[in-house]
Structure 1
């Protein structure tokens, strides 16, 4: 696991927010104030419990994925790249008041991700009902 890197220590929810994206372009977040990192949150019309269960099933169906932390309003998963084993940290925060799931997907190492983090969230969104 040459390119796995160390698990960040700033993950999780703090005051209703996921961690900010770094200045590098290899991160997207639905809570980011700047356009380059901004991505829409996942929206749902089911119950929050059904939404998080559905999300978990989608994540588990994707290749090279491992759920690390899970609570009723939060999921954290690691996604590994096929070629070199680069790890991306992907978080989901269920906001029950707004009926959305906030997302943050960030590469651990490097600068550019060639749009992989954004594509991943859009793939999850396309499967999320």
Structure 2
């Protein structure tokens, strides 16, 4: 008796059907990144001290990076996993003034934009947005 996809609980290639379906969801993103090398979208925000930030976030096959520069000249940057399929992710950030923090990101359904709430080790907080206008 042969083990077909419908008869074998782990499928012909191993893994669950859900894992294979999740992989299928990532393949278009990988192909898109492979075709153009990287995708960069604008990012901006403001912190609880009134400092405005502007910059960008870039997703590529080698990973995700972001960098924003404050109106006070401070640059905050970090990395993230662009292949993480979760709607909510966390990204660590470090700033040129020594401040460190975490940005709690909620992505739009297309993964190409979203919002973030930042918390820094000095008590400063911030609100950020990223992505292209629709």
Larger RCO of the pair (alpha carbons < 8 Å, separation 6+): 1
TM-score w.r.t. the length of structure 2 is: 0.34
Between structures 1 and 2, the one with greater strand share? 2
TM-score w.r.t. the length of structure 1 is: 0.35
Between structures 1 and 2, the one with greater helix share? 1
